[in-house]
């Protein structure tokens, strides 16, 4: 017999706050039927984004976060297409210049 303090871990996922019938169904398809199952369900992967002050110190091939100022943008003929911002100034470049950026809607 397990201690009573562990009983909430063996409750159905529907007993969790914020989990209704709409969310319980996909969780059960993943095999997450009990609260303990959700606790041991770890992510398959993640994306690490690093904030950098100079692009020259960023690791090659890594995702980074930079602060930019959009100086101009172009609309596409397609309403679903992203904006294009060919003239973006980044103040923290070791070699200041223009950076082409794609702005998603």
At 81-93, the pLDDT tens digits run 776 666 555 444 4
Is the pTM here over 0.95, yes or no?
A: no
CA distance 86 to 68: 12
At 17-46, the pLDDT tens digits run 999 999 999 999 999 999 999 999 988 888
* pLDDT at residue 67 in the model: 73
In angstroms, the Cα distances linking 39 to 3, 8, 42, 98, 100 are 18, 12, 8, 46, 42
């Amino acid at each position: 017999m397990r201690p009573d303090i562990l009983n909430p871990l063996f409750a159905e996922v529907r007993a969790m706050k914020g989990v209704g019938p709409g969310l319980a169904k996909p969780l059960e398809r993943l095999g997450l039927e009990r609260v303990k199952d959700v606790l041991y369900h770890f992510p398959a992967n993640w994306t690490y984004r690093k904030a950098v002050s100079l692009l020259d110190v960023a690791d090659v091939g890594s995702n980074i976060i930079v602060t930019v100022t959009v100086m101009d943008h172009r609309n596409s003929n397609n309403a679903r297409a992203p904006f294009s911002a060919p003239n973006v100034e980044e103040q923290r470049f070791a070699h200041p210049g223009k950076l082409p950026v794609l702005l998603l809607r």
